[in-house]
Every structure is written in C-alpha cells, then in structure tokens.
Amino acid sequence: MPTALPTRHTIVLIGKESTGKSALAAALTGQCPTSTNIQGSTIACDRYQAGDNLLIDTPGILFRSDTATTRAALAQLHTHDTVVLLVKATHIDNDLADLLPLVAEKQGVVVVTFWDKVMASEFTQQVVNRWEQTTQVKFIPVDARHLSSAERQQILEALQTPTVFPKQWHPIPAGWHIEPHPTWLEHPRWGWLLAVLLLLLPAVLAVGVANGVAGVLDPLVQAGLTPLITVLSQTPSLLREILIGRYGLVTMGPLLFVWAVPTVILYALFLGAYKASGLVERITVALHPLLRPVGLSGRDLVRVIMGFGCNVPAVISTRACSSCSRQTCMSAIAFGAACSYQFGATLGVLSAANLPGLVVPYLGYLTLTTLIYTRLIAPKAARSPHNALMIERRTFLERPRWSAIWRETRGTLHQFFTNAIPIFLVITVIASVLDWFGLIALLASWINPLMGLFGLPPEAAIPVILASIRKDGLLLFAEPDTLALLTPLQILTGVYLAGVLLPCLVTALTIAREQSVRFAMGLIARQAIAATVFSMLLAWGGQWL
C-alpha cells in the first residue's frame, strides 16, 4: 500500500520538460502517470490523490515560450505554496538559474532527477550538501524512473516540514554539463530523411496491420449481425433508418469497431513506444529546419502525425505548441492529417477499385498541398528565420518499458473513446435522420452540377457530402455502380476532395472547443477554398500527365 503524504495540503511539481515529474508523482502516490519522456507530453495539470493530499503534476515549463501548457504550470505555481522543484542533474546549473526565481519564497524541496547519468562521487555529493547548507532547502538526488523506497520515504519526510526557498540565492556552479550521445538523426545531410521515415513508419504499419486484421474480422462480424438486422427490420421506419439504414448505428458499427479502432490502438502503441523512448524529441529537432519556412516547428509536426490515429487527441495536444503556431498546427491537422477513418476508408476504396498503388500519389499530393496550404495561412512571425525551436535539449534515449508505452497509449485511447466515439454516434443518428427525410439526396442534387468542376460524375456528390460529416463517408465511392463510372484519376480526385474539403464534424467541434466557434468557422472556410483549388488542379492537371 502506498504511504500517504503526512500533511494535508496541495503540492505542485514544477520543472522543465522531460524532467521526470510524472514518473515521480506516480512513484510517490502509487498511481500511474498519463505521460512520459516526450517534450510537452503532459498537456494538462494531472492530479494524483494520496490520502488526504493532492499532488499536481504540471506541464513542463518551456522558457521563451508562451504555450498554453507553460501558462497552466505557472498558474498552478502562483496558486499553491508548497512545491517540489525538479531539476536535471545533467544540466543542473542552467535549471537552477532558470527555475529558482520562480519558486522564491515558496516552500518545498528540490528533487535532482537523472542522477543516474552523473558519475556519483564524493565531489558531486559535496556540491549538493553545500547547497543544502547554504539554503536550508533539502536537495534529494534520484532516478525518478526507478525511485527506491528509501528515496521515496526521504521525499515524503522532507515534505512534512518543507523549508522556504530563498528570495535571492546564486548557487556555486556545479560545473558539469552532460549531453546524450548524438545519433544518425543528428546527421547534417540525411538525418532529416531518417526522421521522416521514422515518423511515417507507425502510420503505415498501423494501418497496414489493422486493415489486414479487419479484413478477416469484417465478414465474420457482418455474418453475426445478419440475424440482428433481420429483427430490426421490423421496427418503425425512422427507428429502422437510425439503426440499420445506410448510415445507421448497426450498419456503420463494424466500420468503426472493426476498421477504425484497431488502427487507432496500433498507432497509439507505436507512438507510445516513440514517446517512452525519447525518439519523438530527436525527430522533432531533426525536422524543425525543414518546417520553419512553412510556419510550423518540429514540435507541431509531431502533433500533425498524431492526427493519423485520431484528429481529436492531436488537436488537444496542440496546447503544447507556441501561440504563434498553434492555430496553424490545428489547420494542418484538419487539412492533412488523414485520420484512421479517412485513411482506412481511402485504402478501402483503392482496394475495391484494384488500384492500391494509388495510395502513393495520394499521400504525396496530400503532403505537398498540406505544406502549401500551411505556408499560405501561417503568420509571418511563425515563418521567421529567427523563430528558433523552443526545446531545452535532446532527450536521453532509453529502451521503452511496456508500462511506459501503455501509459502513453492509454492517454490517446481515452481521448479517442471519450471524445471521438460519442460524437461519432451522434453524427450517425443525425445523418440517418437527414437521409430518412431525403435531405441528403436533395443536397446532393444541388451539388451534382458542381462535380463537373472536378471532372467527376454527379454520383460523386453523395460520398463528398457524407465525407464532410464523417470521413468514412467516402467509402461510398467503393460501391460497384459508382466505381464503374470512375477512371483512376477520378478516383484519386474523388477521395482527395472528399477527404480535405472540410474537417469532419468531430474535429471541427474539438477545434471550436479548444479555440472558439469563430476560429473554427474561419478554418472551415479557408480549408474549403484551398481544397477546391487543389482538387481542380489535380483533376485537370492530372489529365496532362
């Protein structure tokens, strides 16, 4: 049983990014943290209950930045008086110089993490002892990822009688500065290429494996649902439409739980391994120089790639982005991050058309147009050559443990199941009702003439409309009668247009909640205009290739 903190108060954990705050909070309370070893992975202030006491794990403080996560951490610091200040042993002089002014006249202890990276000696211990004698504040060196019971007890006892941090104190420098060894990702010529391949690998593997599994399960699930569909076919017409209509709960359920959910789970596991090992931060640094001219940073790109699993957690994670690039990052996610619904449905259409090779030009054109779109909408400040990547230093790489991978995966899945799926079910009901009243067909009749602008037949209107509500709607392109009318270029144009014309309703609502309804509406309008132009270029320009 975990030992409760012996006093009754709220304790705030403060430190820079990737200092080990979440791991320490878990070790002190016996509870699991929600994030580990990725720059900016804690995007909210996580609370850990320990008896009658509360530990608040704050996002990492990123200096010279105005991220929402840094503001949240500072707000907690201003609200509460008891602090556990975490500093890295590898860069202890810099961390103390930056953080001590923030906690002046607060009370608490200093926990020195990454002590396992420092060669323990009489000299290093003397430095720590001298700081303790000078300030009367307890300094406790630990490896937060493997906290011993003695170290845990030492921290808990120190919090019984926390001492006040001095208002003005300039510690004698320790003099050591330890950097992790560079890897191939830091190679000046081809490190960026390796970073791109590593970043795309989880999406490719997750979608490929999940679709293979779903291809086996789907016929079994469909066969199992046949008796239920027979029973539900006797229900009143509107209820029947909601349950087993073209967009009904039972009809679309297999697409969600057989095709989309496995993709999200596998992608979350791959990304969790990247985060737990520290690889994501190395990729971030390697790609930043390439992205700065279009208004994004390496940190932002990681969020965009997260959208290939689910746009909802990707949008929420932009809280760790700088305010000058956060809205641009959201726009890039909404436009170019083909979520599991969209990507899975796209592969389904291409497979049904016996044209799986079209996925290569599809991804290539999607990437190119996303970069152009982002460059056009990004503010000038975000594209400035002086806009340096706000990361303190490279993260030490480590072999990811399963517990750490699962903690990362669980956070992504929690956001998917609590945010995306409920809205998905609501949208299913709304689409079924609209279809029952004939409004979708009416809207399609209005849009049919516009399909000619993209070189598409009128039959493409309904898939485009439904994909604007739910990305899996583009699966209607896979209907045999529709496919028989389409050339390979039309199929490519159709799935691209349906995928990027509008963000799905789940993504749009999440963006409105994170920013404002006004911003979300502006984003939708800009994206619709850009998607129209890019789709027309693909349709008519492709004929010349």
**What's the pLDDT band for 71 if we cut at 50, 70, 90?**
low
Number of neighbouring beta carbons within 10 Å of residue 402:
10
Across the range 154-161, mean pLDDT stands at 88
Contacts (Cβ under 8 Å, ≥6 apart) of 32: 26, 403, 407, 410
pLDDT tens digit sequence for 408-447: 787 777 767 876 678 677 777 887 888 899 887 787 788 8
| Mean pLDDT of the 322-351 span | 81
Instruction: Residue 262: name the closest of 297, 215, 311 by CA.
Output: 215
pLDDT tops 60 at residue 36: no
For range 461-466, the mean pLDDT: 84
Q: What is the mean pLDDT of residues 516-527?
A: 95
Give 245-276 pLDDT, tens digit per residue. 877 888 877 767 776 678 778 878 887 888 77
Confidence of residue 204 (pLDDT cuts 50, 70, 90): confident
* pLDDT (0 to 100) of residue 386: 54
pLDDT for the residue numbered 360 = 83
% of the chain with per-residue pLDDT over 70: 87
Q: Is it the case that residue 47 has pLDDT exceeding 60?
A: yes
- Range of lowest pLDDT (50-59, 359-368, 518-527): 50-59
Residues 6+ apart with CB under 8 A from 197: none
Give pLDDT, residue 38. Answer: 39
As a whole number of angstroms, the distance between CA 197 and CA 13 comes to 36
Cα 247 from Cα 243, distance rounded (Å): 8
Q: How is residue 188 written in tokens?
A: 């000046």
pLDDT of residue 137: 92
Cβ-contact 504, 341 below 8 angstroms: yes
Supply the pLDDT for residue 318.
Answer: 82
Q: Is the dihedral of CA 306, 311, 317, 321 positive or negative?
A: positive
Percent of the chain with pLDDT over 90: 21
How long a stretch of residues is the chain? Answer: 545
Section 321-332 average pLDDT: 82
DSSP lists the bridge partners of residue 55 as: 11, 48
Average pLDDT (137-148) is: 89
Tokens of residue 519, six digits = 């911003």
pLDDT of 2 strictly over 70 = no
Per-residue pLDDT, 78:
77
Are 85 and 105 spatial neighbours (Cβ–Cβ below 8 Å)? Answer: no
Lowest mean pLDDT among 357-361, 420-424, 458-462: 420-424
| 6 pLDDT higher than 50 | no
Range name among 26-30, 157-161, 305-309, 510-514 with the lowest pLDDT average: 305-309
- List, as one string, the DSSP characters of 363-426: HHHHHHHHHHHHHHHS-HHHH-TT------SPPPP-PPPHHHHHHHHHHHHHHIIIIIHHHHHH
Distance CA 541, CA 518 (A): 34
Region 48-75 average pLDDT: 68
pLDDT above 90 (res 533): yes
Mean pLDDT of 29-55: 61
Report whether pLDDT(55) > 60.
Answer: yes
Give which of 464, 509, 469 is closest to 491, Cα–Cα. 464
Is residue 42 pLDDT above 70, yes or no?
Answer: no
pTM: predicted TM-score of the whole model, two decimal places: 0.67
Residue whose C-alpha is closest to residue 303's, from 279, 334, 347, 264:
334
Range list for CATH 3.40.50.300 in the chain: 10-164
**Superfamily the domain 10-164 falls into:** P-loop containing nucleotide triphosphate hydrolases (3.40.50.300)
Gyration radius from the chain CA atoms: 26
Q: Is 407 helix (H, G, I), strand (E, B) or coil?
A: helix
51 — pLDDT class (breaks 50, 70, 90): low
| Average pLDDT for 90-97 | 90
Q: Return the higher-pLDDT residue of 113 and 180.
A: 113
Split at pLDDT 50, 70, 90, the class of 83 is very high
